[in-house]
């Protein structure tokens, strides 16, 4: 019987297999950031162990870094301590690190792909749940805990029990204005935040094939919000096109050898998945979340749900609690929900294509007086590219703030936070209570919806805006 993409990647990384024991899997790339690594390095130090392969390890500073005044010392002592510890640890153990101010610095899941370090058929881990992003290249990529970070640092392997596989097939033509973010929000709303538990998801079908690499990364990024261990898209010409010429991509004869291998990876026709979900792309539309988990989403054209819509008692309590926290009244059209802050950025939607999408809506328009809009590129390279294309000027002219690279308001570990009670439309991935600041309320949206919302001051899609001579 044939094998799935995930199974092929797994099989090609088994270092040791023994009856009744987990497989020992080799890790091709270990990404590190300042929040989950200090104790792992401390553990190595305590046991006198070196990092086995610093040359397969890469660190960057992202979660805690400020997005303004980055030439000044980090003000928050805890943030500064974590960043300082990372720098010290990387120096001591010989791990390459891209620090604040470096041209390669940025969010760990933006940096790996843009350097060409994330390639098809690789195993990629990081002490961060959104490592699933890298699955967009057909890599098996997943988040790990701190003791596992130490394990990979010391051995470049992990003992792992096999995952199950789930195919999510999105076939058909996407209606205009529907993006990867809308697809994944619709998928999570459909299967639930636990629907992917224990699975590696493989996104398939014509609508997925039609997505750019940026779109595929958005999709895979949020696999974890469906409870999945990882998400993957089979490599194809779009993947190869993106990789070619990147700093760490193979070149010359090695490129040909690599592509030949990559072409062998897609799931065989006779392979079987443990579960399957099919979605008709033509039924999708811009999606937004109304509640406090990423599964609580609806089409923008819908209204705030009522506890009476609940499928069971647990769901009823969840809806009631979310409505109370979000301060929403059942039956209110989502388009009428007023927004205070718009955040464009994060490892979900902080790439150049995302900024282009938001800028194309903002061009020639203004951020509503009642709204503050933060645009935070996912990496310094993304920022430079956007500036070369004049996107920063578009945002500034519209009245938005153009910031330095980092995680920023995605999780509010740095000074970019919502005030209690403040409501955001955010292109990030988590709308948990307090995620963007204590008491803050988050609606997850695509970059295009974020931009349109900034203009109107309430949840909107670009189609809701008056035609504008300056916009494309």
Partner 1 sequence: MEKFVVHTGTAVPLRRSNVDTDQIIPAEYLKRITRHGFEDGLFAAWRKDPDFVLNRPEHAGATVLVAGPDFGTGSSREHAVWALQDYGFAVVLSSRFADIFRGNSGKGGLLTAQVDQSVIESLWAAIEADPDLLVTVDLEQREVRAGDLSAPFTVDDYVRWRLMEGLDDIGITLQYSDAITAFEATRPAWKPTTVG
Q: How far is the CB of 346 from ligand SF4 (least distance, A)?
A: 4
407 binds ligand SF4 (CB under 6 A): yes
Binding segment toward ligand SF4, per CB under 6 A, in 267-275, 295-303, 360-368, 403-411: 403-411
Q: How far is the CB of 15 from partner 1 (least distance, A)?
A: 5
Site for partner 1 in 148-177 (CB under 8 A): 150-151, 154-157, 159
Binding segment toward ligand SF4, per CB under 6 A, in 188-196, 266-274, 406-414, 455-463: 406-414
Of 34 and 354, nearer to partner 1 (C-beta) is 34
Q: How far is the CB of 34 from ligand SF4 (least distance, A)?
A: 11
Binding segment toward ligand SF4, per CB under 6 A, in 207-215, 252-260, 404-412, 452-460: 404-412
Write the binding mask 31 to 70 for partner 1: x where contact by CB under 8 A, - elsewhere.
-------xx--xx--xx-x--x-xxxxx------------
429 binds ligand SF4 (CB under 6 A): yes
395 in Cβ contact with 361 (< 8 Å): no
30 in Cβ contact with 126 (< 8 Å): yes
Q: How far is the CB of 231 from ligand SF4 (least distance, A)?
A: 14
411 binds partner 1 (CB under 8 A): no
Contact partner, 82, from ligand SF4, partner 1, none, Cβ < 5-8 Å per class? partner 1
> Rounded to an integer, what distance in angstroms lies between the CA atom of residue 8 and that of residue 271?
11
Instruction: Rule CB under 8 A: choose which of 2, 50, 96, 470 binds partner 1.
Output: 96
230 in Cβ contact with 221 (< 8 Å): no
Contact partner, 175, from partner 1, ligand SF4, none, Cβ < 5-8 Å per class? none
Any idea which residue has 């072409």 for tokens?
263
151 binds ligand SF4 (CB under 6 A): no
130 binds ligand SF4 (CB under 6 A): yes
Residues near partner 1, by CB under 8 A: 15-16, 24, 26, 28-29, 38-39, 42-43, 46-47, 49, 52, 54-58, 78, 81-82, 85, 96, 116-117, 119, 122, 145-147, 150-151, 154-157, 159, 248-250, 254-255, 257-258, 261
> Which residues would be at the binding site for ligand SF4 (CB under 6 A)?
62-63, 107, 109, 128, 130, 346-347, 407, 410-411, 428-429
């Amino acid at each position: 019987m044939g094998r799935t993409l995930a199974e092929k990647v797994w099989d090609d990384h088994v270092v040791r297999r023994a009856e009744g024991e987990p497989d020992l899997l080799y890790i091709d790339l270990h990404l590190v950031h300042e929040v989950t690594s200090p104790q792992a390095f401390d553990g190595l130090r305590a046991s006198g162990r070196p990092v086995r392969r610093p040359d397969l390890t890469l660190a960057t500073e992202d979660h805690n870094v400020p997005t303004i005044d980055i030439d000044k010392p980090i003000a928050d002592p805890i943030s500064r301590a974590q960043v300082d510890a990372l720098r010290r640890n990387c120096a001591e153990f010989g791990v390459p690190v891209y620090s604040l101010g470096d041209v390669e610095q940025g969010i760990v899941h933006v940096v790996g792909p843009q350097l060409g370090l994330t390639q098809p058929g690789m195993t990629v881990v990081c002490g961060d749940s959104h490592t699933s992003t890298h699955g967009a290249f057909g890599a098996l990529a997943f988040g790990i805990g701190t003791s596992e970070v130490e394990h990979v640092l010391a051995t470049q392997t992990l003992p792992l029990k096999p995952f199950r596989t789930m195919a999510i097939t999105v076939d058909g033509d996407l209606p205009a204005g529907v993006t990867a973010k809308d697809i994944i929000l619709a998928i999570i709303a459909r299967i639930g935040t636990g629907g992917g538990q224990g699975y590696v998801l493989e996104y398939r079908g014509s609508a997925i094939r039609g997505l750019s690499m940026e779109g595929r990364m958005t999709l895979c990024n949020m696999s974890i919000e469906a409870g999945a261990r990882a998400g993957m898209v089979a490599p194809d010409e779009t993947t190869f096109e993106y990789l070619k010429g990147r700093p760490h991509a193979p070149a010359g004869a090695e490129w040909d050898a690599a592509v030949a291998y990559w072409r062998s990876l897609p799931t065989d026709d006779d392979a079987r998945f443990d579960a399957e979900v099919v979605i008709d792309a033509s039924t999708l539309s811009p999606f937004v979340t109304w509640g406090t988990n990423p599964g609580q989403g609806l089409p923008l054209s819908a209204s705030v749900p009522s506890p009476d819509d609940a499928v069971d008692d647990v769901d009823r309590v969840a809806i009631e609690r979310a409505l109370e926290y979000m301060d929403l009244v059942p039956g209110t059209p989502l388009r009428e929900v007023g927004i205070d802050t718009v955040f464009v950025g994060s490892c979900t939607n902080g790439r150049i294509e995302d900024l282009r999408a938001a800028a194309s809506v903002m061009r020639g328009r203004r951020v509503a007086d009642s709204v503050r809009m933060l645009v935070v590129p996912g990496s310094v390279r993304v920022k430079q590219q956007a500036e070369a294309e004049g996107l920063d000027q578009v945002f500034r002219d519209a009245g938005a703030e153009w910031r330095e690279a980092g995680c920023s308001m995605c999780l509010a570990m740095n000074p970019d936070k919502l005030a209690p009670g403040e409501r955001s439309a955010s292109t990030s991935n988590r709308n948990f209570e307090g995620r963007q600041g204590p008491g803050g309320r988050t609606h997850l949206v695509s970059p295009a919806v974020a931009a349109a919302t900034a203009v109107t001051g309430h949840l909107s899609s670009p189609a809701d805006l008056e035609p504008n001579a300056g916009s494309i």
